[in-house]
Amino acid sequence: MLSERLFEDILVKYPELIEDKVKYIGRQVNYFGKRIDILFEDRYNEKLIIELKRGNLKRDALSQVLEYEGYILSEKDPSARVMIIANRIPFNLKKAMDHHGIEYKEITQKHLMEFLEQRDSTIYREIMVQIQEEPPSHTIREKITRQVKKSIKPKSVEEHLEGSSKEIRDAFDFFDEKILRLSSEIVRYTTSQNILYKRRVIFTELNVQKERLRLLIRTKNGEIDDPKHLTQKVPKSHEWGNLTHIVFVDLKEINIRYSIDDIMKLVSQSFNATY
């Protein structure tokens, strides 16, 4: 579910996950002839070498860290620090690293997702959409996906609507019924942030906001028939897969700038993009 590259991206963007006042220098860099996963500078202006391992830490990773310590720290830069980071570190390896004085940090999948939910909804949503669109399998990756999904409690539809006005609730009920009527194959489910509609894959993501509804919709090759220009293209840096367009349903504009049928035509196109 969480690739090592994405794990790196998150730590580079949020180095406070490692420790306070850490400055990013580079990744996959050559440092005295050794390839370093990520290189930081700590609060004392000393180099902090990160060896990153996705998933469970394996025993052979310790030899790599010891090599860094034996070569870089003793001969090249004795002030540098080496730290190993993994999603899970078995107890016996923690004891071994404590014995050898190796720095380590366990950053679990659950902790990462809880952090991203609060700090970076874009990356959080990308991961959650990837989880929902992943084909069934019996791999370790599938097991990790199930663990992450269990660790994040989704909100019910009623919880998503909590605090909304009667007008917003009525609008949601109307669109919800219309969307589900498109096909008996449609499944609706929720996450902690959104209400999603899926056939084979997600085709519409609905978010209840204070005075409007936000719909994220699927397209084929990024193309959509939108004569009234109701949609906005999701920025490339924010989109995930083929959920490429966004439309805001402002209750004040219904039957003035556009009709409910205009919105449903866009949703129907999104549904048809799943064929």
- The predicted-structure confidence for 85-100, as pLDDT tens digits, reads as follows 999 998 888 888 888 7
Pairing of strands 23-31, 103-106: unpaired
Residue 202 amino acid letter: I
Q: What is the value of pTM for the model shown?
A: 0.48
| C-beta of residue 142 within 8 angstroms of C-beta of residue 222 | no
Give the domain 4-108 fold. Trna Endonuclease; Chain: A, domain 1 (3.40.1350)
| C-beta of residue 102 within 8 angstroms of C-beta of residue 82 | yes
Angle at 186 between CA 180 and CA 187, to 5 degrees: 100
Give the end-to-end CA distance of the chain in Å, rounded to a whole number.
25
- The predicted-structure confidence for 45-98, as pLDDT tens digits, reads as follows 888 888 888 888 887 777 777 776 666 665 666 677 888 999 999 888 888 888
Distance CA 193, CA 117 (A): 8
Structure tokens at 203: 């085709």
* Domain regions of the chain by residue span: 4-108, 153-272
Name 49's bridge partners: 39, 82
Distance CA 112, CA 107 (A): 7
- The predicted-structure confidence for 186-244, as pLDDT tens digits, reads as follows 999 888 778 999 988 889 999 998 889 999 998 888 889 999 999 988 765 444 556 88
